[in-house]
Amino acid sequence: MVVARCTVEYAGRLGARLGEATRLVILKADGSIAVHCDAKAYKPLNWMTPPCEIREADGVIVATNPKGETLTVSLLEVLHDHTVDLGEDPGLEKDGVEAELQVLIAARVEALTDGLTLIKREYPTDIGPVDLLCRDAAGRAVVVEIKRIGEIAGVEQLIRYQERLDLDTRLAPTRGMFVATRIKPQARVFAESRGIECVEVDLDDLRGHELPQTRLF
């Protein structure tokens, strides 16, 4: 964790720059970097997901991802610099409804779309487990993220999982599917803009062991 007066520049598909200000820079052992300000809650101003090559020298932190995109943090004045080993994390425990949804949907994934078959529940990645990894009728890997209420944060989580699994030539290119009992309009728009399918399911139908009345958008 570094707190510093800094500037930040991103170079990749587009260019972006953050002017001089005091910010929190978080570098994690998984090869990610996130730049935060004292606002916007949990969402960073700029970031790179793992894996990244991170180099530190002469007051500059440079993160480069496999696509060749770079995030450069120029440290003008370091106010705090501290390293903490967080150790192993047991992972997120879903609430009762989400956990139940995952179990019920895993038992009848073909209800989400014709020809879908389950590969594995809680498929592991280096940033956390994917709820369901499936294959569609064409043999394409389908990454399924399940939420009680579908919000933008859930879509972002699914995108991160797809980015990780797309590095595996056995699975790439993956297809994303966002499943919830209700998906908020903003999340639906965001998901569709990234080519992700949205499916709403009825928990009571699932509990009754009937095929849910899905709505695919």
- The per-residue DSSP string of 20-48 comes to EEEEEEEE-TTS-EEEE-SSSTT--SEEE
Q: What pLDDT does 204 receive?
A: 81
- Where exactly are the structural domains of the chain? 2-81, 96-216
d(C-alpha 64, C-alpha 47), whole Å: 11
φ, ψ (nearest 5 deg) of residue 86: -80, -15
Residue 114 CB contacts under 8 Å (≥ 6 apart), including other chains: 137
**In which band, very low, low, confident or very high, does the pLDDT at 89 lie, cut at 50, 70 and 90?**
low
Q: Taking the model in full, what pTM does it have?
A: 0.60
Beta strands per DSSP E along the chain: 2-11, 15-27, 33-36, 46-48, 53-57, 60-64, 70-81, 117-123, 130-135, 141-150, 175-183, 197-200, 215-216
d(C-alpha 186, C-alpha 184), whole Å: 6
Structure tokens at 188: 């639906």
- The answer, yes or no, to whether residue 215 has pLDDT greater than 70, is no
Hunting for tokens 């997120």 — which residue is that? 92
pLDDT one-digit tens code per residue, 36-84? 998 876 789 999 988 889 999 889 999 999 889 999 999 999 999 999 9
- The answer, yes or no, to whether residue 214 has pLDDT greater than 80, is no
- The answer, yes or no, to whether residue 210 has pLDDT greater than 50, is no
Q: Strands 60-64 and 130-135: what pairing?
A: unpaired
Q: Strands 197-200 and 175-183: what pairing?
A: parallel
What is the CATH topology of the domain spanning 2-81?
Answer: Protein Yojf; Chain: A; (2.70.180)
Judge: domain 96-216, CATH 3.40.1350.10.
yes
